[in-house]
Amino acid sequence: MNGLTCPACEGVYIVKNGHAHTGKQRYLCRVCRHQFTLNHTRTPISPETVILVDRLLSERLSHRGICRVVGVSRSWFRRHLQMLIKTVPHAIETESPASKKASTLQDQRS
């Protein structure tokens, strides 16, 4: 049908499926339900940019500021943060004797 093949399964039963937010025609593979556009113009974020974003994050800059300076979209940035949240450990298992002492001292005072 219409000379298109599915990029996922090479199927040829392709139908039109609305438009992307950029206005491009979207297609749907009737075999595997994969949705796609032709000649997509999305440019991937370079690894150097990702490293720069991570370095700026460690400097505690505002998220919007990082997006403006580096030139990445806030939706990409949000997805990147979600990925970081999943991969970076958040709790360090330590027991500090100093903080324990301080808390017991405060308890005695009150």
| Residues lying near Zn ion in the complex (CB under 5 A) | 6, 8-9, 11, 29, 31-32, 34
Q: In terms of CB distance, is 10 or 54 closer to Zn ion?
A: 10
CA distance 60 to 49: 17
Tokens 């100093």, located at residue? 98
Q: Based on CB atoms, which residue is closest to Zn ion, 40 or 64?
A: 40
Nearer to Zn ion (CB atom), residue 6 or residue 67? 6
CB of 8 to Zn ion, least distance (A): 5
Residue with Cβ nearer Zn ion (6 or 53): 6
Task: Report residue 76 as tokens.
Answer: 């990409």
Q: How many CA atoms lie within 13 A of 80 on its CB side?
A: 20
Beta carbon of residue 10, minimum distance to Zn ion (angstroms, whole number): 7
CA-CA distance, 72 to 44, in Å (whole number)? 10
Minimal distance in Å, beta carbon 24 to Zn ion?
18
Number of helices (H), then strands (E), belonging to the chain: the values are 4, 3
Compute the least distance from the CB of residue 49 to Zn ion, in Å: 32
User: 7 and 36 in contact (C-beta within 8 Å)?
Assistant: yes
